[in-house]
Amino acid sequence: MNSVPPACPPSPAPCLAQGGSSPYPPACLGTSFIIQIGLSRESVLLPNYGDSTLARVKELACSIVDQKFPECGFYGMYDKILLFRHDPTCDNILQLVKSAGDIQEGDLIEVVLSGTATFEDFQIRPHALNVHSYRAPAFCDHCGEMLFGLVRQGLKCDGKTLIFAYGSRAVSRG
């Protein structure tokens, strides 16, 4: 007698994207799709359980923008992005996503900045440079020069993993 596992788990299973594992097919865990922001694409899994709403999809998109483009944030991003689903079967290939139910397995979802976003919404995230001592050889991310000295060889940006030489033009621009 062969025992067949249930088609979907009776209780919420761990999400594979979070490092869990499950004997169930991925479709039972959630909807897998791709979010595209400009030329950058990221595969995501929207779980079938819990909060699977358009708000959750927008939160995922905003977190991807923050991760991939940390210098390009703006105030109220959540309210000023639109999500479009690529549908090659329609004359208008981009279809506005109005609910999480509009997103199907394998869809390509495009994140677009709404026309309501103004220039004042954009925030500039300048470099926060601090003197830093490196324990191993390091190179300037702007000019490529090797940093010399035993201590305080260069500057390091707190917000990003950028290294600058003291004489670099990127530092002197202020």
Q: What is the DSSP letter of 117?
A: -
Q: Which amino acid is at 108?
A: L
- The predicted pLDDT at position 29 comes to 77
Amino acid 65: pLDDT:
82
Give pLDDT tens digits for 139-165: 888 788 888 888 888 888 776 667 777
Which amino acid, one-letter code, is at 99? S
pLDDT confidence bin for 94, thresholds 50/70/90: very high
Burial group, residue 154, by CB count within 10 angstroms (0-12, 13-18, 19+): buried
Q: For residues 168 and 144, what is the distance between their CA atoms, to the nearest angstrom?
A: 9
Query: Which amino acid type is present at position 95?
Result: Q
pTM of this structure: 0.53
At residue 84, the pLDDT reads 95
